[in-house]
Amino acid sequence: MKNLVLATAFAVLVSACSSGTTVSDVPSNVTSRFVGTFQNTPGTQSGNVTLDILENDSGAVSGNIIFTSSGANCLSTSTVSGTTSGFTVSLSSPQSGDRFQITTTVVETDNTTMTSTTVSVTTVNSSSGTEGTTVSESTSGNITTTTTRVTTRVAVMGTLNIQFTSSNGGSTLSGTYTVSGDTCSNQTGSGTMTVSR
């Protein structure tokens, strides 16, 4: 009889524990190396991202973020810092880089009267270049055309802001990013990012 009561109590306990109730995820510490990808909103820049971060007991996060891309990319490798709150991870990273301003001036000189006329001046920005000045001349009849190209390096600064949501027991961080400042143009400075550990 004693065994029957014990067996019945055990069956009730097992039944109560397996009643189909689920336990939701608990936010986990994000200290780890995460690896994944990023893609800007217009789809013109993408690549790989490595995020090495450490979360302390108060939820403050610090570490490094590394971007690699085979094409154009306005995001730069840097430090990150931020906070966690529940399943949300908010990070920011100082961004810096170089932009090259290229100004081309075309002047035509009449070799008979020795008068010069500026035909055009154009300025474009590029993510790559070599500082300096190049001059080329060509002559056709009594007109000499001089093209002067001046390339100037300009340091640019900005801040990368990332808003992640943690999922899969903290194994995946996915979300969006935006860049303020001059390092990315308005069209390239926002997108999505997903990393996993």
pLDDT in tens, 109-139: 999 998 999 989 988 877 778 899 999 999 9
38 within 8 A of 191, measured Cβ to Cβ: yes
- CA-to-CA dists, residue 155 to 45, 95, 180, 188, angstroms: 21, 11, 15, 18
For 28-96+156-196, the fitting CATH number among 3.30.200.20, 3.40.50.150, 2.40.128.30, 3.60.20.10 is 2.40.128.30
Report the DSSP pairing between strands 46-55 and 190-196.
Answer: unpaired
145 within 8 A of 138, measured Cβ to Cβ: yes
DSSP of 17-77: HTSS-----------EEEEEEEEETTSS-EEEEEEEEEE-TTSEEEEEEEEE-SS------
Interior/surface letters 171-180, b for 16+ CB within 10 angstroms, e for the rest: ebbbbebebe
* Domain residue ranges of the chain, discontinuous segments joined by +: 28-96+156-196, 99-154
Report the range of poorest mean pLDDT among 63-67, 99-103, 125-129, 144-148: 125-129
How many CA atoms lie within 13 Å of 26's alpha carbon, on the beta-carbon side? 3
166 pLDDT band (50/70/90 cuts)? very high
The predicted model gives 64-69 an average pLDDT of: 95
183 pLDDT band (50/70/90 cuts)? confident
**Helix (H) or strand (E) run with residue 15 in it:** helix 2-17
| Per-residue model confidence (pLDDT) at position 188 | 72
pLDDT at 8 over 60: no
The one-letter code for the residue type at 62 is S
| Per-residue model confidence (pLDDT) at position 1 | 53
Residue 109: CB partners within 8 Å, gap ≥ 6?
Answer: 115, 116, 117, 143, 144, 145, 146
Q: What is the reported pTM?
A: 0.68
Tokens representing 191 are: 């997108």
